[in-house]
Amino acid sequence: MNCIKNNEFTVEEFIAESLEHINKVDEKLHAFLRINDLAIKKAKEIDAKIKSNQNVGRCYGMPISVKDNICMEGSKTTCASKVLENFIAPYTSTVISKLHSEDAIIIGKTNLDEFAMGLSTEFSAYGPSRNPWNNDCVPGGSSGGSGVSVAANECIASLGSDTGGSIRNPASFCSVVGLKPTYGLVSRYGLVSYANSIEQIGPMTKTVEDSAFLLNMISGIDPNDNTTIDNKNQDYLNNIDAGINGKKIGIVTEMTNSDGLSADVLDATNDSIKTFEKLGANCEQVSLQMVPYTVAAYYTITSTEAGSNLARYDNVRYGYELDSSGFEFNSYISQARSKLGPEVIRRMILGGFVPSAGHAGKYFLKALKVKSKLINEINYVFKKFDFLISPTVPIQPFKFGEKINDPVSFMMVDFNTVTANLTGIPAISVPYKITNGLPIGIQIMSNHLEEHSLLQAAYALEKTVDLPEVPA
Amino acid sequence: MTKIGLEIHCQLTNLESKLFCPCKADYRKFEPNTNICPICMGIPGSLPLLNKSAVEKATLIAMALDCRTPDKIAFFRKNYFYPDLPKNFQITQLNVYGNTSIGWEGKISVGDKEIRIRRIQLEEDPGRLIYEGATEKTKLTLVDYNRAGTPLVEIVTEPDFETPHQVREFLNILSDLLENLNVSDPGLEGAMRADANVSIEGGSKVEIKNIGSFHDLEKAVHFEITRQQSLAERKIEIIQETRHWDEGRKITVSARTKEEEAEYRYHLEADIPWVRINDDTKNQLQTHMPESISSKKKRYVSKYSITPQVADILSSDRYFSELFENAKNETNAKDVANMITTDVMGLLDTREKRNVSKLNAEHLSDLIASMKLNKITRSSAKLALDEIIKNGKPLQQIIGELDLGHVSDEEELTNIITQVLSEEIKAVEEAKQNPEIVNFLVGKVMQKTHGKADPELTLTLLKKNLAID
* d(C-alpha A78, C-alpha A335), whole Å: 19
What rounded mean pLDDT belongs to chain A?
96
**pLDDT at position B113 over 70:** yes
**Residues A284 and A418 sit within 8 Å (Cβ to Cβ):** no
- Of the candidates A190, A308, A333, the beta carbon closest to that of B45 is on A190
The reply to whether residue B143 touches residue A330, judged by beta carbons under 8 angstroms, is: no
- Among the residue ranges A2-16, A73-87, A430-444, B246-260, the one predicted with the least confidence is B246-260
Where among B244, B263, B281 does a domain terminate?
Answer: B281
Where among B221, B252, B281 does a domain terminate?
Answer: B281
In a domain, B371, yes or no: yes
Smallest CA–CA distance, residue A304 to chain B, in Å, is 8
* d(C-alpha B43, C-alpha B34), whole Å: 15
What rounded mean pLDDT belongs to chain B?
90
E strand or H helix at A438: strand A438-446
Nearest to B440 by CA among B450, B449, B430: B430
* d(C-alpha B69, C-alpha A260), whole Å: 50
Say whether B112 sits in a helix, a strand or coil: coil
CATH number of the domain at B433, please: 1.10.10
A287 or B333, which is more confident?
A: A287
Tell which of B33, B37, B40, B43 to mutate to test the A interface (max A CBs under 10 Å).
B43
| Reduced 3-state DSSP string for B234-273 | CCCCCCCEEEEEECCCCEEEECCHHHHHCCCCCEECCCCC
Tell me the mean pLDDT in the region B432-453: 80
Name the residue type at position A53. Answer: N
Tell me the mean pLDDT in the region B23-40: 96
pLDDT reported for residue B136: 64
In a domain, B205, yes or no: yes
DSSP lists the bridge partners of residue B109 as: B114
pLDDT over 90 percentage in chain B: 62
Beta-sheet strands, E only, within B29-112: 72-73, 76-79, 89-92, 103-110
DSSP assigned state of A191:
B
In a domain, B118, yes or no: yes
pLDDT reported for residue B403: 75
**Residues A135 and A129 sit within 8 Å (Cβ to Cβ):** no
Q: Residue B58 — pLDDT band, cuts 50, 70, 90?
A: very high
The reply to whether residue B273 touches residue A227, judged by beta carbons under 8 angstroms, is: yes
The reply to whether residue A84 touches residue B88, judged by beta carbons under 8 angstroms, is: no
Q: Residue B259 — pLDDT band, cuts 50, 70, 90?
A: very low
Work out how many CB contacts closer than 8 A connect A with B: 98
How many residues appear in chain B?
A: 469
- Is the same domain home to B7 and B66? yes
- Is the same domain home to B91 and B8? yes
pLDDT tens digits, one per residue of A22-31: 999 999 999 9
- In chain A, the residue whose alpha carbon lies closest to the alpha carbon of B261 is A357
pLDDT reported for residue B256: 64
Which chain A residues are Cβ-neighbours of B83 within 8 angstroms? 314, 316, 329
Interface contact A349, partner B, CB < 8 A: no
- In chain A, the residue whose alpha carbon lies closest to the alpha carbon of B78 is A308
Q: Residue A223 — pLDDT band, cuts 50, 70, 90?
A: very high
* d(C-alpha B180, C-alpha B294), whole Å: 11
Where among B253, B281, B309 does a domain terminate?
Answer: B281
Q: Residue B398 — pLDDT band, cuts 50, 70, 90?
A: confident
E strand or H helix at A2: helix A2-5
Residues 122..161 of A with a Cβ closer than 8 Å to B: which?
Answer: none
Say whether B24 sits in a helix, a strand or coil: strand
The reply to whether residue B83 touches residue A311, judged by beta carbons under 8 angstroms, is: no
- Is the same domain home to B337 and B271? no
The reply to whether residue B266 touches residue A316, judged by beta carbons under 8 angstroms, is: no
Q: Residue A85 — pLDDT band, cuts 50, 70, 90?
A: very high
Nearest to B150 by CA among B118, B117, B184: B184
Smallest CA–CA distance, residue B210 to chain A, in Å, is 20
pLDDT reported for residue B134: 66
The reply to whether residue A314 touches residue B271, judged by beta carbons under 8 angstroms, is: no
DSSP lists the bridge partners of residue B275 as: B73
pLDDT tens digits, one per residue of A264-279: 999 999 999 999 999 9
In a domain, B325, yes or no: yes
Which of A120, A149, A158, A166 is the catalytic position?
A166
Smallest CA–CA distance, residue A62 to chain B, in Å, is 25
Nearest to A360 by CA among B276, B97, B192, B337: B97
**Residues B336 and B314 sit within 8 Å (Cβ to Cβ):** no
Nearest to B127 by CA among B40, B58, B11: B40
Q: Residue B410 — pLDDT band, cuts 50, 70, 90?
A: confident
- Is the same domain home to B203 and B130? yes
- Is the same domain home to B25 and B90? yes
pLDDT tens digits, one per residue of B339-396: 999 999 999 988 889 889 999 999 999 999 988 887 788 888 888 899 899 999 998 8
- Is the same domain home to B181 and B66? yes
Tell which of A79, A92, A93, A193 to mutate to test the B interface (max B CBs under 10 Å).
A193
Tell me the mean pLDDT in the region B44-66: 97
Domain that holds residue B424: 410-466
The reply to whether residue B45 touches residue A89, judged by beta carbons under 8 angstroms, is: yes
Which residue segments constitute the domains of chain A, with CATH numbers given?
A: 2-218 (3.90.1300.10)
Contacts of A228 by beta carbon, 8 Å cutoff, 6+ apart: A184, A185, A186, A187, A220, A221, A222
**Residues A463 and A448 sit within 8 Å (Cβ to Cβ):** no
E strand or H helix at B208: strand B206-209
Helices (H), A354-406: 364-384
- For chain B, how big is the Rg over CA atoms in Å? 29
Which chain A residues are Cβ-neighbours of B79 within 8 angstroms? 307-308, 311
- For chain A, how big is the Rg over CA atoms in Å? 21
DSSP lists the bridge partners of residue B121 as: B154
pLDDT reported for residue B424: 83
User: Which ipTM score applies to this complex?
Assistant: 0.95
The reply to whether residue B81 touches residue A333, judged by beta carbons under 8 angstroms, is: yes
The reply to whether residue B47 touches residue A316, judged by beta carbons under 8 angstroms, is: no
Tell which of A73, A77, A225, A308 to mutate to test the B interface (max B CBs under 10 Å).
A308
Tell which of A84, A186, A189, A350 to mutate to test the B interface (max B CBs under 10 Å).
A189
- In chain B, the residue whose alpha carbon lies closest to the alpha carbon of A316 is B83
**pLDDT at position B64 over 50:** yes
B209 or B273, which is more confident?
A: B273
Interface contact A335, partner B, CB < 8 A: no
pLDDT reported for residue A181: 98
- Is the same domain home to B140 and B203? yes
Confirm whether A67 is a catalytic residue. Answer: yes
Smallest CA–CA distance, residue B264 to chain A, in Å, is 7
Residues 375..404 of A with a Cβ closer than 8 Å to B: which?
Answer: none
**pLDDT at position A155 over 60:** yes
The reply to whether residue B270 touches residue A84, judged by beta carbons under 8 angstroms, is: no
Instruction: Report pTM.
Output: 0.89
- Is the same domain home to B375 and B415? no
- Is the same domain home to B157 and B103? yes
pLDDT reported for residue B207: 93
- Of the candidates A225, A316, A352, the beta carbon closest to that of B83 is on A316
Q: Residue A1 — pLDDT band, cuts 50, 70, 90?
A: low
- Is the same domain home to B385 and B431? no
How many domains, chain B? 3
pLDDT tens digits, one per residue of A30-77: 999 999 999 999 999 999 999 999 999 999 999 999 999 999 999 999
Q: In sequence order, what DSSP letters do the residues of A224-282 get, joined into one string?
A: TBTT----TT--TTTTTT---TT-EEEEEHHHHS-TT--HHHHHHHHHHHHHHHHTT-E
- Is the same domain home to B333 and B248? no
Tell me the mean pLDDT in the region A215-244: 97
CA-to-CA dists, residue B407 to B375, B387, B457, angstroms: 9, 20, 9
Tell me the mean pLDDT in the region A126-135: 98
Confirm whether A331 is a catalytic residue. Answer: no
Interface contact A173, partner B, CB < 8 A: no
In a domain, B286, yes or no: no
**pLDDT at position B305 over 80:** yes
**Residues B339 and B364 sit within 8 Å (Cβ to Cβ):** yes
- In chain A, the residue whose alpha carbon lies closest to the alpha carbon of B85 is A312
pLDDT reported for residue A322: 82
In a domain, B59, yes or no: yes
Say whether B8 sits in a helix, a strand or coil: strand
Phi-psi region of A231 (alpha: psi -120 to 50; beta: other; left: phi over 0): alpha
- Is the same domain home to B175 and B324? no
Which chain B residues are Cβ-neighbours of A69 within 8 angstroms? 45
